[in-house]
Amino acid sequence: MATSNDDTRGPVPTHGCGDCGAAFSDDQRYCLKCGARRGPLPPAIAERLPTMLQDDRAAKGIGGPQGPESEPVEEPGGSPSFMPTPRAAAVAVMAMLAFGVVIGSATSQLAQSAGLSSILLEVAPAPAASERVETASAPSAEPETAAPGPATPSSLPAVPVIPEEVLPEAEPEPEPEPEPFFEEEPAGLPEVKHVFMIVLGENGYEETFGKTSTAPYLSKELPEQGEVISNYYAVTKGDLANQIALISGQGPTVETAANCPNYTDIVPGTESTEGQVEGSGCVYPAATTTLPGQLLAAKLKWKAYVEDIGNGVITGQAASCRHPLLGGPDGSQVPLPGDAYETWRNPFVYFHSVIDTPECAETDVGLDRLATDLKKKVSKKTPALSYIVPNACHDGGELACEPGQLAGPAAAEEFLKTVVPEIQASPAFEEGGLIMITSSQAPQAGEKLDTGACCVNPVYPNLPPAPEAEPASGPVKPTGGGGKVGLLLISPFVEAGTLNETSYYNHYSLLLTIEELFDLEKLGYAKELALLPFDETVFNAGVEEESTVETPAGRALSRAISALR
């Protein structure tokens, strides 16, 4: 095949259209005015074009009888070109469009059977973000039914691509919550299920647990079986006021600090923002929450076992839940012959929420019921809280109940020798038991006077302002409390024969600990942030000596942080 060195495909260097005379630029091939090509078509295309036109007319069934093939006409004007004339190019484009219409009609039935519909996209300005979401979520219109036509094999029509502007914006993934900087407060509390609290009368720490104690069973034998907390304090003046604090977190009134010689309601009995009932009197309103009420709400049992409570039946008094008539004097302020029960040693009968219920007769009972309840083989039938109250002859107070009887802690020896072993032999004690022995307060008069306080020293709203005292340099304050009384714990959860001299606690701490043991809300002054419950420094069974134990200051900070969350 011969080749030519002449480039016949480039534009002919003329500067005017041969048909209309319009001006050309140097690189222009077609006239912008009449559409004429500049230069001849390429020979191969010029020869093929008549045949293509005849085939197209025959397929459509148009035109007359075909004549002989026309000879390709060479257009004048130079070397051959590969581009058709404008008229031929227009005919070719129309043929291609007609072919597309035939293909579209053949595939319309297949598209409809496939559930596809035509989507027409209109170029428009991008909508706002809110409009884009609504456009994407709007339901599409039902496609119109097309007229049936002949189905021909064809590929499925291409699925149109939805522009990115109409897609809903993806919601950002939520960021993971940051971990708290401070860890949760370590509970440090074991699985205690039964608390046995024995509250003696007016005794200081040295008289009860010290080296000069006249009660060897209480000061030597029992501590060998448990743990003594030496820095444990009463919270105010008055046996009754301290016992009320133990079971409710309430501060004293003038009357409860004097053991309530008259059994009267507290008036006006309004509650402060700190949860303290304000007024004067003895019996708290029915709305005042107590530890017994909390236990009942948690479906746990409680009982008070009070020695000699049933001895008043000889004078017509109740055998349980015994208390004076409301508004009158208390005839059981001091022990009587054959009846050593004292009302102010039974703090539960100073709450309307207890005495106004029929359950009081079954929960505030005589001491003889304790031995019966301890013998129950099913430990859960034993109360979660057993509050044990000796009578005036056995409470270890400074005054003897009768002439010739023992006084002080020595008077409690025989009582404890009976009660403590009974508790230790019970199934309830073996399955998570905890015995607590303390005194209501230290002596508040005489040579052994002790009004010291520790841990928290609230300003009680129902008492007259106390004289200002010099600020204490340590945790113990010289006034404002009920003195140092000490606490003995006997339990599988404490190491036998240990003495805790580093931790400082009081009656509110004991209430707080019981509430945390049973997962209860904090009451009254037990909510003080500076107050600490017992932890692994107290429940020390199995704790290594070199173990890292959080300091009291650190635990106080942790409690404050937890309360602020």
Question: Using one digit for the tens of pLDDT, what is the confidence trace for 288-342?
Answer: 999 999 999 999 999 999 999 999 998 899 999 999 999 999 999 999 999 999 9
Say if residue 240's pLDDT is above 70. Answer: yes
The residues near 394 (Cβ < 8 Å, ≥ 6 apart) are: 307, 340, 411, 412, 414, 415
The predicted structure's pLDDT at residue 308 = 97
For the domain 194-457+474-564, what is the CATH code?
A: 3.40.720.10
Q: Residue 194 corresponds to which tokens in the numbers above?
A: 């039964």
Residue 250 contacts residue 276 (beta carbons within 8 Å): yes
Residue 6 contacts residue 78 (beta carbons within 8 Å): no
Say if residue 354's pLDDT is above 90. Answer: yes
Question: Using one digit for the tens of pLDDT, what is the confidence trace for 459-502?
Answer: 999 999 877 767 777 889 999 999 999 999 999 999 999 999 99
- Give the pLDDT mean for 506-529: 96
Task: Look at 98-107, 119-128, 267-276, 397-406 and tell me which has the smallest mean pLDDT.
Answer: 119-128
The predicted structure's pLDDT at residue 468 = 73
The predicted structure's pLDDT at residue 123 = 44
Distance CA 292, CA 353 (A): 9
- Listed by start position, the domains of the chain span 12-63+81-104, 194-457+474-564
- Identify the three-state secondary structure at position 195: strand
Among 107-111, 155-159, 478-482, which range has the highest average pLDDT? Answer: 478-482
The string of DSSP letters for 416-428 reads: HHHHHHHHHTSHH
- Give the pLDDT mean for 91-104: 55
Burial track 435-469 (b if 16+ CB lie within 10 A, e otherwise): bbbbbbbbbbeeeeebbbbbbbbbebebbeeeeee
The predicted structure's pLDDT at residue 173 = 61
Confidence of residue 381 (pLDDT cuts 50, 70, 90): confident
DSSP-based helix, strand, coil % in the chain, nearest 5: 30, 15, 55
The residues near 519 (Cβ < 8 Å, ≥ 6 apart) are: 298
Tell me which DSSP letter residue 6 carries.
Answer: S
Distance CA 377, CA 355 (A): 30
Say if residue 271's pLDDT is above 70. Answer: yes
In 140-288 the beta strands, taken as DSSP E runs, fall at 194-202, 227-229, 232-233, 267-271, 277-280
Say if residue 129's pLDDT is above 50. Answer: no
The predicted structure's pLDDT at residue 20 = 74
The predicted structure's pLDDT at residue 514 = 98
The predicted structure's pLDDT at residue 118 = 41
In 383-424 the beta strands, taken as DSSP E runs, fall at 385-389
- Cα–Cα–Cα angle for 100, 104, 107, nearest 5°? 140
Distance CA 423, CA 287 (A): 33
Question: Using one digit for the tens of pLDDT, what is the confidence trace for 170-195?
Answer: 555 655 554 443 334 445 689 999 99
The single-letter code of the amino acid at 110 is: L
Q: How far is CA 30 from CA 39, 40, 172, 421, in A?
A: 9, 11, 56, 121
Q: List 52's β-bridge partners, or say none.
A: none
The predicted structure's pLDDT at residue 87 = 59
Confidence of residue 400 (pLDDT cuts 50, 70, 90): confident
- Cα–Cα–Cα angle for 521, 526, 530, nearest 5°? 120
* Percent of the chain's residues with pLDDT above 70: 64
